[in-house]
């Protein structure tokens, strides 16, 4: 956590391949139902894709990004750094997520955006997104809704980090990941491969990696999850919800 690599962005490979923004328009459509014209407009957006390795910085605090990034595959996180060198993750993103709708409004980034795994990111120029939402109020609405949901997730995280004990914090992060993953049709909620390291979970929960490790073992000992490498199986969802104090209402999933 604290003093480890926060080194300059590696150079990622710009890169052309037959990909589309389908993942993104599906995701936006789930936020707010789009019309055929809206989806067509998204498909027609000019963009380039970038393949990034794990731990690659997409945006750094203080930068003025010209592009709006959208996650086609892989996982990313937003984080901030405290003066004492500690890192705090404030959210995770999954494929289909628009990574910085907020950059349409703010010139300077107020946090970092970094890949967790290798990832493919679509970059669209800010002005093109601006034009898109100006012409397509429905898309604007979907983005607006997505931003409000993310704000709700931030509120839940403040609670998680501020008022829950260690085991609940870790369990809550697992529950949220499982549910969002399912909602995005990426797989079942009761068995999945965790993309993040225990250190990244520590930075999301305000704990140390050592303690996260112990809490995950404790969840195993309680019989609510089983683990094999990064694979997690939630054996008992009822007890898991209870231990995690997890109520998915804050995710505002249709």
Residues that bind a copy of itself (CB under 8 A): 62, 78, 80, 82-84, 86-88, 90, 102, 105-106, 108, 110-111, 144-145, 147-148, 150-152, 154-159, 161-165, 168, 205-206, 242, 245, 249-250, 252
Q: Which stretch binds DNA (CB under 7 A): 8-16, 63-71, 151-159, 206-214?
A: 206-214
- x/- letters, 162..191, toward DNA (CB under 7 A): ---xxx------------------------
Nearer to DNA, 53 or 137 (CB): 53
Q: Which of 209, 222, 245, 253 binds DNA (CB under 7 A)?
A: 209
Give the CA angle between residues 157, 57, 161 to the nearest 5°: 15
Shortest distance (Å) from residue 119 CB to a copy of itself: 21
Q: Which of 51, 190, 199, 245 binds DNA (CB under 7 A)?
A: 199
Q: Which of 213, 237, 245, 253 binds DNA (CB under 7 A)?
A: 213
Shortest distance (Å) from residue 96 CB to DNA: 23
- The answer to whether 51 contacts DNA (rule: CB under 7 A) is no
Q: What is the 3-state secondary structure (H, E, C) of the chain?
A: CCCCCCCCCCCCEEECCCCCCHHHHHHHHHHCCCCHHHHHHHHCCCCEEEEECCCCEEECCCCCCCEEEEEEECCEEEEEECCCCCEEEEEEECCCCECCHHHHCCCCCCCEEEECCCEEEEEEEHHHHHHHHHHCHHHHHHHHHHHHHHHHHHHHHHHHHHHCCHHHHHHHHHHHHHHHHHHCCCCCCCEEECCCCHHHHHHHHCCCHHHHHHHHHHHHHCCCEEEECCEEEECCHHHHHHHHCCCHHHHCCC
Q: Which of 206, 235, 239, 251 binds DNA (CB under 7 A)?
A: 206
Contacts of 89 (CB under 8 A, 6+ apart): 77, 78, 79, 200, 203, 204
Cβ(216)–Cβ(170) below 8 Å: yes
- The answer to whether 227 contacts DNA (rule: CB under 7 A) is yes
Nearer to a copy of itself, 84 or 228 (CB): 84
Nearer to DNA, 70 or 174 (CB): 174
Shortest distance (Å) from residue 167 CB to a copy of itself: 12
Nearer to DNA, 67 or 246 (CB): 246
The residues that touch DNA, with contacts defined as CB under 7 A, are: 54, 165-167, 197-199, 206-211, 213-214, 216-217, 227, 229-230
């Amino acid at each position: 956590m604290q003093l480890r690599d926060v080194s300059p962005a590696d150079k990622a490979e710009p890169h052309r391949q037959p990909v589309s923004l389908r993942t993104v328009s599906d995701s936006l459509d789930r936020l707010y139902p789009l019309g055929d014209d809206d989806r067509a407009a998204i498909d027609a957006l000019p963009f380039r894709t970038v393949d990034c390795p794990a731990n690659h910085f997409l945006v750094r605090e203080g930068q003025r990004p010209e592009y709006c990034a959208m996650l086609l595959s892989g996982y990313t996180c937003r984080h901030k750094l405290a003066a004492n060198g500690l890192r705090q993750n404030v959210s995770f993103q999954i494929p289909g997520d628009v990574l910085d709708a907020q950059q349409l409004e703010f010139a300077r980034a107020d946090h970092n955006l970094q890949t967790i795994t290798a990832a493919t990111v679509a970059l669209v120029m800010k002005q093109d997104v601006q034009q898109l939402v100006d012409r397509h109020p429905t898309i604007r609405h979907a983005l607006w809704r997505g931003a409000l949901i993310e704000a709700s997730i931030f509120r839940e995280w403040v609670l998680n980090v501020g008022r829950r004990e260690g085991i609940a914090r870790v369990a809550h992060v697992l529950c949220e990941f499982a549910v969002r993953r399912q909602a995005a049709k990426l797989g079942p909620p009761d068995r999945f491969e965790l993309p993040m390291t225990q250190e990244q979970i520590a930075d999301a929960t305000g704990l140390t990696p050592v303690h996260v490790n112990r809490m995950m073992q404790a969840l195993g000992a309680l019989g609510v999850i089983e683990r094999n490498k990064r694979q997690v199986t939630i054996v008992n969802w009822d007890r898991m919800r209870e231990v995690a104090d997890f109520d998915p209402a804050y995710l505002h999933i249709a």
